[in-house]
Structure 1
Amino acid sequence: MSLRNRIRALSIVLCGALASTMLLAVDARAEEAGWTVRDRPGGPTAELRLDRASGALGLSVSRAGETVLAPSPVGIVTERADFSTGLSFLGRSDRTVDEHYRTAAGKDRNRTVHMREARFRFRTGAGARLDVVVRASADGVAYRYDLPGDTGNVLQETSAFTLPEGSSAWLGAYRKDNENLFDAYTAAGAPAGEYMMQALFRTGNSYALVAESDLTGSYSGARLVHDAGSSTYRVKLWDPQVRTTGALTTPWRAVVTGDLATVTESTFTDDLAPASKVRDTSWIKPGRALWTWLAGGREAGQSLEMQKGYVDYAAARHWPYTVVDAGWYFDPAQWDVTDPDWQTHSWIPELVRYGRERGVGIQVWIHHRDLDTAEERAQWLPTLEKWGVKGVKIDFMDSEAQETFQWYDRILPETASHHLLVNFHGSTIPKGIQRTWPHVMSLEGVNGEEKKTNTARHLTTLPFTRNVIGSMDFTPGAFHRPNRPNAGSDASELGLSVLYESGIQNLAGTPESYDARPEARHFLEQLPDAWDSTRLLAGEPGTSAVLGRRSGNRWFIGGMYAGAAHTAEVPLRIGSGRWLVETLTDGPAGPVRTARTVRGGDTLSVDVVSDGGFAAVACRWSPGRTSCDR
């Protein structure tokens, strides 16, 4: 090629590159006011907008032609920079997130993640940098802040969620242990106050569950604050300042959205969380447990003989665990822990031996104050592992402060290294923790069975709120408790064991109450220890909830209704073909089992009593088959 031709070719390349650069600059200027992120057609779309006059960011979410989230403030304020205003756009980069992971517990054990992620880069007039990372999937939208420089401690977020006019809301007032009732409001009509970060809203045919994910000790827990007459719910952090050093990545602010089935079946908050930090998960075994606190209280916790009786009962039912609650150990301050034989004060090793011989593992309750220092954990955790204890139920953290999440960051790898399953009570709610730390079988964070304030409306709201975001230790099965709102419906109490998912399903009844209800006892004996998939069959928050959960080739169904007695109609969305369905409904002397043959997709008619429900199991029909028992 001649020199002239080479120069001409180079000029063409340079002109093309310059034209491309100018086109990108024009596009950036044109898009400066607004950018969209969507994973797939028909899925939710996030729109991030920058107000040119104020330099403030806002985020909205739409789905199927409906506004799910109206333009809502996005921003964060630190000691050295205000990222809520005065921002200018620097650029955008995109990537696809494709992951597959398996969990020990949850709605389903095999998860596939596909999300579109966009990183938007901004700076303040003073040059401080902020990245806003937005993700969209088929069932949700989430964003987080990434501060690449050292901008000092976080003072507040200006993040908020603004609902369209006329939206419905199901909210629970905030408590430090997340144990409060859910009730129904309009988004604008809810009383002024603070609400738990597990709020459900509805606009048209779309639902939106506000939550968070990937919360660690680098940050502070959040709640929602609502002003009277407003449709905006602001994010408030527990701590007045979040301590930071250097760069910071905040938790995800998530909106799980879709129709009600999509939201209920979603694993979005887990999908956002980091991958498992536990390499060997072979020892992690979910399962049913006989929980003896409501059955015997502190007296049971202080009695080896009573606990052996519970082990015998669990063994006969093929339940893999019993849980020994408060009372089994004295205050360690009264023990001389410098004595190498201090552990001999406990009869737990004898109970573990007794349970091992019968195929029943022992889990024990322990107070947070006895594990809140490195020295205490070094005393207790190796000892419990040496004794052969399978898990710990840690109670009374009662805080969502940054300091408390730093404690979670320490206790989680330590319990995993000692092969101890964990159930947190008096705690935060999951927030993706079960993906990252799969030995966490459950968390309380719910106004559960031991409370005396529950309502049928609350029971029918939990599957659409708290239990969406992770395992929930409600402790169903307390037939002997006269103050439960469904006390007139043993069948609905039985159904709660399916309706509510928990990696450790703590069954809270007395052996006597189970023996008095042989059909209920038989159903609980058949109940699997983990689920392969979950489907919403029917329901509306605060009114009714019917879920089907599959284990292998059998479906278990739990239903709960608030209101008058009626005949419920349940679509059997469990697969085509013929099924044998055994339903358990309320009879004059306890649950009654009825078998019938139906086709998948048919409607199952079930008679339910006032504030009642039902339980069922479905298996493939074959000639001569009369039971779904294995």
Structure 2
Amino acid sequence: MKSYLIIMALSLTVSVLPAQELSVTGPDQHLKVQVSLKDGKPVYRVSYKDKTVLEDSPLGLVSNAGDFSQGLTCVEHKEGRIDKSYVQDRIKQSNIRYQANELTCTFANPDKQKIDVIFRVSNNDIAFRYVMPRYGETGSCVIEKEATGFDFPSYTTTFLTPQSDAMIGWKRTKPSYEEEYRADAPLYERSQYGHGYTFPCLFRIGDDGWVLVSETGVDSHYCASHLSDATADGLYTLAFPMPEENNGNGTVAPGLALPGCTPWRTLTVGETLKPIVETTVLWDVVEPLYETEHNYRFGRGTWSWILWQDGSINYDDQVKYVDLAAAMGYEYVLIDNWWDTNIGRDRIKSLVEYAHNKQVDVFLWYSSSGYWNDIEQGPVNCMDNPIVRKREMKWLRSLGVKGIKVDFFGGDKQETMRLYEAILSDADDNGLMVIFHGCTLPRGWERMYPNYVGSEAVLASENLIFNQHFDDNEAFNACLHPFIRNAVGCMEFGGVLLNKRHNRTNDGGTVRKTTDIFQLATAVLFQNPIQNFAITPNNLTDVPAFEIDFLKQVPTTWDETLFIDGYPGKYCVLARRHGDRWYVAGVNAGKEPLKLKVSLPMIAGKKATVYDDDKKRNPRMSETVVKADGEMQLVIQPEGGVIVAAR
């Protein structure tokens, strides 16, 4: 991870004259933000190609150092340009050039205290945040609330997932970003629990386009946020965590050292879904928080727990999954909860040695622990205390363990953001990568933390084992994630389930409704730099050999991602490139075959391997040559998939 070119031209224009309205557009002039004061209250509105995306929406915040939401005057503004290039190895694209125009509006309240609102606008993305200086002797403050809002036109429909009640669910571990989505819901529909909606939030502005709203740059200096329910006028406002989160421990309002700034709020805007799927704004506006001396290796892993469950966390079964990883040529095996008691620390050492002899590295599971839930799964009480955590990580390093999966966090308060950051920082000191489960949404973390490799923060594969309802809706959910959850960050889903039945012996439990090719397609469709696949040892012999060969070759990091076609909850076709090899992956949530004519100019004239389903939804593989114009006909069977692999 490195930046190879940074050019910033700022403060090209500075004005101290009061302005009735200020505006900034993206480089191609289509996306426009206009900022003004309405009776002393700052507002902004957004248009794309002269069509309204957001109506007048509030800006500002209230702190114990001053009120910056009303009674304001605009005392200065600056304009500038940003042209930045960087390399990032864990997101949807490896080489990124970010070009944006910047507008800084300086407002003053009646006490002459100032606050800056900074907007950065690229061709399809907006990022904005507040920057507060030191106010005389006041060197810190508490942000009591933000006025920040998003006021959509009345004809907007939504694709949202609700913020759950706090301290409910398994062992009182929610909220954990694992609620169900509603697709194309009315703008004013109240959320399931009455607490609003978790980021990211997707909106369809009638026939005029799409908007994805999220935030980035959240670290130990602030809390994570979400959206409130909409008012009758279609206004969503930024909401802080609920007091009950973390079992009531920690403050709702974040504390900020001065000078200081809030996280970036982001909007991605497009006439089509292409900018939504391909956006990199979540990483464009943040920077690495620390350098690392380690070279982290990404790749694939096996994982017994997902289908063999708690009973598999024993030495002999883990040997089977090490052997499976070795047979597949995978880099990792993930050993899940209870290893400290069911295997024991002494035998874990010999198990890690066994894995290393098979050229397989190890991830170990931990509870986040602490005073905010009722989790019993061990190891517990190792990650929340810095003294114990550092000792534990030093021991892991001595074994040659390469990473940890930390599970069951307590909410979105600033206190929990500090814990995420502390775990990541201490882990990097010991050469450990980190996966989070039962957790919050990552907010720019792939760029901010060099050893961060993914978060769950989604209704993931474990639910397919627990309840048939989620199998019945698997295809629907898979056709949402590329447009929403996975569009803004790595998604540790734990997919590719090739058993027909979701139990150890492939003869009981819930029933998979999707085809094998659908499952293989999700290996490309879902992006995470370390993919812990849900394959089992029996799959080496009970599925067609070409499926196993595909899974032996599929990469987990990508140099380029392109949106081809789709609609949230209905179908999705993406293309991803790793080196010189392209993978076009599509899935269909419908109950009828889907016939698509797609344009694939990047593989025009090339030989390709096609994986798809026949009319009986049985898997098949064929070879073809893509036409010289790149046009291709795809047929995706109901709850089925297609993959076109070419180089």
1:280 to 287, 293, 301: 293
Residue matched to 2:487: 468
Residue matched to 1:195: 197
Pairwise CA distance, 1:485: 8.6
Alignment of 1:421-432 (within 5 A): 421-432=433-444
Alignment of 1:427-506 (within 5 A): 427-451=439-463, 452=467, 453-454=469-470, 455=473, 456-480=475-499, 481=501, 487-506=513-532
Q: In structure 2, what is the Cα distance between the partners aligned to 1:410 and 1:530?
A: 26
- 2:486 maps to a residue whose letter is N
In structure 2, do the counterparts of structure 1 residues 606 and 404 end up closer, same or farther at CA, with 3 Å as the change threshold? same
Alignment of 1:333-372 (within 5 A): 345-369=345-369, 370-372=382-384
Q: In structure 1, what is the Cα distance between the partners aligned to 2:160 and 2:547?
A: 32
1:263 to 276, 283, 288: 276
Residue matched to 1:125: 110
1:548 equivalent to 2:575? Answer yes
2:642 to 609, 614, 627: 614
Deviates more, 1:569-578 or 1:467-476: 569-578
Residue matched to 1:595: 623
Q: In structure 2, what is the Cα distance between the partners aligned to 1:68 and 1:242?
A: 30
1:329 is paired with a residue whose SS is helix
Q: Is the 8 A contact 2:525 2:574 kept in 1?
A: yes
Greater Cα radius of gyration, structure 1 or 2: 1
Residue matched to 2:305: 293
1:49 to 36, 42, 63: 36
Runs of 4+ aligned residues of structure 1 deviating over 3 Å after TM superposition are 227-230, 343-346, 481-486, 587-590, 600-603
Q: In structure 2, what is the Cα distance between the partners aligned to 1:590 and 1:357?
A: 38
Pairwise CA distance, 1:562: 1.6
In structure 1, runs of 5+ residues without a counterpart are 1-22, 332-342, 620-630
1:390-429 deviations in Å (ceiling 9; x for gaps): 1101111131111001112222211111111111111111
Q: In structure 1, what is the Cα distance between the partners aligned to 2:618 and 2:431?
A: 40
2:411 is paired with a residue whose SS is coil
1:167 equivalent to 2:156? Answer yes
Residue matched to 2:340: 329
Q: In structure 2, what is the Cα distance between the partners aligned to 1:344 and 1:543?
A: 46
2:331 to 307, 320, 324: 320
Residue matched to 1:9: none
- 1:157 maps to a residue whose letter is E
Q: In structure 1, what is the Cα distance between the partners aligned to 2:117 and 2:327?
A: 55
Pairwise CA distance, 1:557: 2.1
1:6-60 deviations in Å (ceiling 9; x for gaps): xxxxxxxxxxxxxxxxx987x833xx12111123124422111112xx2101111
TM-score between both structures, scaled by the size of structure 2: 0.85
Q: Is the 8 A contact 1:183 1:457 kept in 2?
A: no
Q: In structure 1, what is the Cα distance between the partners aligned to 2:302 and 2:338?
A: 16
Equivalences, count: 579
2:560 to 533, 552, 555: 533
1:131 is paired with a residue whose SS is strand
Deviates more, 1:95-104 or 1:400-409: 95-104
1:102-134 deviations in Å (ceiling 9; x for gaps): 222111122222222222111101122211111
Alignment of 1:151-230 (within 5 A): 152-175=141-164, 176-192=175-191, 193=194, 194-203=196-205, 204-227=207-230, 229-230=232-233
Q: Is the 8 A contact 2:604 2:627 kept in 1?
A: yes
Residue matched to 2:537: 511
Pairwise CA distance, 1:509: 2.3
The alignment yields a C-alpha RMSD, in angstroms, of 2.2
Q: In structure 2, what is the Cα distance between the partners aligned to 1:24 and 1:368?
A: 48
In structure 2, do the counterparts of structure 1 residues 38 and 494 end up closer, same or farther at CA, with 3 Å as the change threshold? same
In structure 2, do the counterparts of structure 1 residues 470 and 111 end up closer, same or farther at CA, with 3 Å as the change threshold? same
Q: In structure 1, what is the Cα distance between the partners aligned to 2:301 and 2:583?
A: 18
In structure 2, do the counterparts of structure 1 residues 412 and 45 end up closer, same or farther at CA, with 3 Å as the change threshold? same
Q: Is the 8 A contact 1:584 1:616 kept in 2?
A: yes
Q: In structure 2, what is the Cα distance between the partners aligned to 1:189 and 1:583?
A: 43
2:626 is paired with a residue whose SS is strand
Q: Is the 8 A contact 1:584 1:594 kept in 2?
A: yes
Pairwise CA distance, 1:85: 0.5
Q: Is the 8 A contact 1:585 1:615 kept in 2?
A: yes
1:542 is paired with a residue whose SS is coil
In structure 2, do the counterparts of structure 1 residues 576 and 353 end up closer, same or farther at CA, with 3 Å as the change threshold? closer
Pairwise CA distance, 1:314: 1.1
Residue matched to 2:122: 137
Residue matched to 1:94: 79
In structure 2, runs of 5+ residues without a counterpart are 1-12, 165-174, 242-250, 370-381, 503-508
Pairwise CA distance, 1:495: 0.7
Q: Is the 8 A contact 2:303 2:334 kept in 1?
A: yes
Pairwise CA distance, 1:276: 5.2
Q: In structure 1, what is the Cα distance between the partners aligned to 2:491 and 2:516?
A: 21
Q: In structure 1, what is the Cα distance between the partners aligned to 2:35 and 2:540?
A: 55
Q: In structure 2, what is the Cα distance between the partners aligned to 1:543 and 1:65?
A: 29
Pairwise CA distance, 1:206: 2.2
Q: In structure 2, what is the Cα distance between the partners aligned to 1:546 and 1:139?
A: 21
Q: In structure 1, what is the Cα distance between the partners aligned to 2:535 and 2:368?
A: 25
In structure 2, do the counterparts of structure 1 residues 485 and 90 end up closer, same or farther at CA, with 3 Å as the change threshold? farther
Pairwise CA distance, 1:574: 4.5
Q: In structure 2, what is the Cα distance between the partners aligned to 1:548 and 1:168?
A: 27
Residue matched to 1:310: 321
Alignment of 1:104-119 (within 5 A): 104-119=89-104
Residue matched to 2:374: none
Q: In structure 1, what is the Cα distance between the partners aligned to 2:510 and 2:189?
A: 26
Pairwise CA distance, 1:576: 5.6
Q: In structure 1, what is the Cα distance between the partners aligned to 2:458 and 2:89?
A: 21
Deviates more, 1:564-573 or 1:125-134: 564-573
Q: Is the 8 A contact 1:492 1:612 kept in 2?
A: yes
In structure 2, do the counterparts of structure 1 residues 201 and 484 end up closer, same or farther at CA, with 3 Å as the change threshold? farther
1:575 is paired with a residue whose SS is helix
Q: In structure 2, what is the Cα distance between the partners aligned to 1:593 and 1:558?
A: 14
Pairwise CA distance, 1:139: 2.6
Q: Is the 8 A contact 1:485 1:611 kept in 2?
A: no
Q: In structure 1, what is the Cα distance between the partners aligned to 2:513 and 2:632?
A: 24
- 1:591 maps to a residue whose letter is P
Deviates more, 1:319-328 or 1:592-601: 592-601
1:410 equivalent to 2:422? Answer yes
In structure 2, do the counterparts of structure 1 residues 487 and 145 end up closer, same or farther at CA, with 3 Å as the change threshold? same
In structure 2, do the counterparts of structure 1 residues 485 and 306 end up closer, same or farther at CA, with 3 Å as the change threshold? closer
1:549 is paired with a residue whose SS is strand
Q: Is the 8 A contact 1:517 1:591 kept in 2?
A: no
Q: Is the 8 A contact 1:187 1:231 kept in 2?
A: no
Q: In structure 2, what is the Cα distance between the partners aligned to 1:487 and 1:574?
A: 33
In structure 2, do the counterparts of structure 1 residues 35 and 186 end up closer, same or farther at CA, with 3 Å as the change threshold? farther
Deviates more, 1:562-571 or 1:404-413: 562-571
Q: In structure 2, what is the Cα distance between the partners aligned to 1:67 and 1:101?
A: 32
Q: In structure 2, what is the Cα distance between the partners aligned to 1:484 and 1:393?
A: 26
1:559 to 556, 578, 586: 586
Pairwise CA distance, 1:208: 0.9
